[in-house]
Each structure stands twice: as structure tokens, then as C-alpha cells.
Chains A and B, each alone.
Chain A
């Protein structure tokens, strides 16, 4: 209850703070989401990407 009230009054009550919170979390969300999807892609394609087979062709 106390937490909900604080969060509501601080963030969601005003459009300005809500927008600010959205922009700030979009920044972090982008980093995290890109990192997660990228690492998933690399794990899924393990051994197929150039950086995985680079050693065989380069010294």
C-alpha cells in the first residue's frame, strides 16, 4: 500500500514524470533487450558465425 501510493504520486500522477520514466526505462530496456537477443542469437548459431570459425582461417 505505502509503496503503491509513493510510486503513484511520484511517477504516474503527472504526465511529465510518466513521460520521463518511460524515456529513462526505454533507454535501459533497449540495452538489456539488445544484449539478451544478441546473446540468444549467438548461442543459437554457435559455430556458424565468422567469429566462431575465425581461428581456422586466420593466424
Chain B
């Protein structure tokens, strides 16, 4: 950078000298060194005439293509003011910024944390609502259970109920039937299951009345094994609902049920 030897000479180009906040050492405009032209001395001597000629570095300082205007940094350049964007604690003159740093950071992180907590809550609500909309509604759930008074079913009878759109067989087994089914060799069965695994109370057999072959409804107290017989393709089930003969591959399905108190059965 060119450091002017005589800076006051530059200030002559403005009408008023105003102190600015720019570093004086850094010049914005670099002016060409002005060449000195001596005025003729009123003599026509050789020396006088030669002095009237331009000498040194001849440059054009005035003309249409040359900017002769010099602008200096004035008060018309506004120093940016960021006060509106600063935290109040940074504007205080009695405290160091470093001392209030934690307060400012805490505020920022607290806002971010509050947003996170709110978003987490909203996201969880959305997911919960969506998932619960796929579950069974209250009216369906109300129909999903069936209560049966066991005293209405005499011993040795199989009664059919409608449960979840399917027939449900409740069989009050006699002591003979229980003994007979308990004695069956599990290894000889197509779908090996001991009678104890299929009933909670040996007196009561609870099975779905849907043949595991193609879904017909078997007939109670029929077939070769004294249990159920499917008329469609001739599957024989015993008094424990197990497949003994015919095309069906599996035993009759046992739904979830329980005896909440004596004489009452709840299926579902």
C-alpha cells in the first residue's frame, strides 16, 4: 500500500474533513503522482521554453475516461448495528460476556429440549392413535366373549354356541368318556396331544366346531369314536376333539377359556 508522504494534500479535494473509522494507513484510492508543470517565466529563452514542456511521467488526470472524483469514507457509510439481534446479557457493560455464557446457552438448549419433548409426545400420540385404530373396536370386543352357564348343559350332551361368528362346542363329558380319552395312546394319534393338554377341567370340553379339513361344522355325538363327525368328507373326532380318522390333519381348535367361578364358563 502506498503511504502518502503528505496526507494533508489529499484532504484538499473535499470541502470538509471528517474523521472516519477506517484505518488511515489503508488507502482506498491510489492517486497517480501528480507531475509538476512549471509556468512559463515570461521569457522566451531556451531554458524558459524547455521548462514549459511536461517532464517526468506524463499521465492523463482529467478527461471523459478518467475519474477525477475522489470519495472518502464519510459519515454516509453506516456502521452496522446488530443490537436487535444480540442477547440482552451481551449488551450489559457491567458484566463480562463470558460470565453470562452459561445462562445464554441454557436458554437455547432449554428451548431445543422443550421442542424435543413436545415432538416426542406428538410423535408418540400419532403412532399410538394409528396403531390403536387397527385394533378391534369396543363393540367388537364386547362381542368377543361369551358367558355360558354350565348348569344348563346336562352330562353327556354337546351344546353349540355362536362365538365370533363360528360355532363353539361345549361338551359335558361323562366319567366314562373322560376315562376313555385319558387312556388313548398319544403316539397313535395323527396330531399327538394328550387329553389333559386340551381341557382345563376334564368334565368340560371346549372346542371350535370347525372341521380342520375344509371348515365344515361337525356333528356332535356321531362317528366311530363317539365324539364328532364331519359329514362333508368323513373326519372322525373323539370326545376330546382329536382327529382319529378321515382327511382332517389337525385336532379341533381349543379356544382360550376360563372358569371364573363355579358353574360359569367364559370363552374369549
A8 to B110, CA, bound (A): 10
**Which A2-38 residues have a C-beta within 8 angstroms of B?**
4-5, 7-8, 11-12, 18, 21-23, 25-26, 29-30, 33
- Majority DSSP secondary structure for residues of B touching A: helix
Instruction: Say yes or no: A25 contacts B106, CB within 8 Å.
Output: no
Instruction: Say yes or no: A8 contacts B117, CB within 8 Å.
Output: no
Contact of A25 among B109, B113, B124 (CB under 8 A): B113
Nearest CB to that of A24 among chain B residues?
B117
Give the interface residue-count category, chain B. Answer: 10 to 19
Instruction: Say yes or no: A1 contacts B102, CB within 8 Å.
Output: yes
Contact of A4 among B103, B117, B124 (CB under 8 A): B103
Give the Cβ gap from A9 to chain B, nearest Cβ, in Å: 8
Instruction: Say yes or no: B121 contacts A30, CB within 8 Å.
Output: yes
Nearest CB to that of B112 among chain A residues?
A18
Instruction: Say yes or no: B109 contacts A12, CB within 8 Å.
Output: yes
Q: Say whether, besides A26-B121, A29-B121, A8 and B105 are in contact (CB < 8 Å).
A: yes
Q: Chain A residues near B118 (CB, 8 Å)?
A: 29
Nearest CB to that of A29 among chain B residues?
B117
Contact of B103 among A1, A18, A29 (CB under 8 A): A1
Most buried by A among B99, B102, B110, B116: B102
Q: Is B216's beta carbon under 8 Å from chain A?
A: no
Nearest CB to that of A12 among chain B residues?
B109
A38 to B214, CA, bound (A): 50
Q: Chain A residues near B121 (CB, 8 Å)?
A: 26, 29-30, 33
Q: Is B153's beta carbon under 8 Å from chain A?
A: no
Q: Chain B residues near A25 (CB, 8 Å)?
A: 113, 117
Instruction: Say yes or no: A22 contacts B106, CB within 8 Å.
Output: no
Chain A interfacial positions (CB closer than 8 Å to B) = 1, 4-5, 7-8, 11-12, 18, 21-23, 25-26, 29-30, 33
The 6 closest A-B pairs by CB, nearest first: A12-B109, A4-B102, A26-B120, A8-B102, A22-B116, A26-B117
Chain B interfacial positions (CB closer than 8 Å to A) = 99, 102-103, 105-106, 109-110, 113, 116-118, 120-121, 124
Supply 10 A–B pairs (Cβ within 8 Å), ascending by A: A8-B105, A12-B109, A12-B113, A23-B120, A25-B117, A26-B117, A26-B121, A29-B117, A29-B121, A30-B121
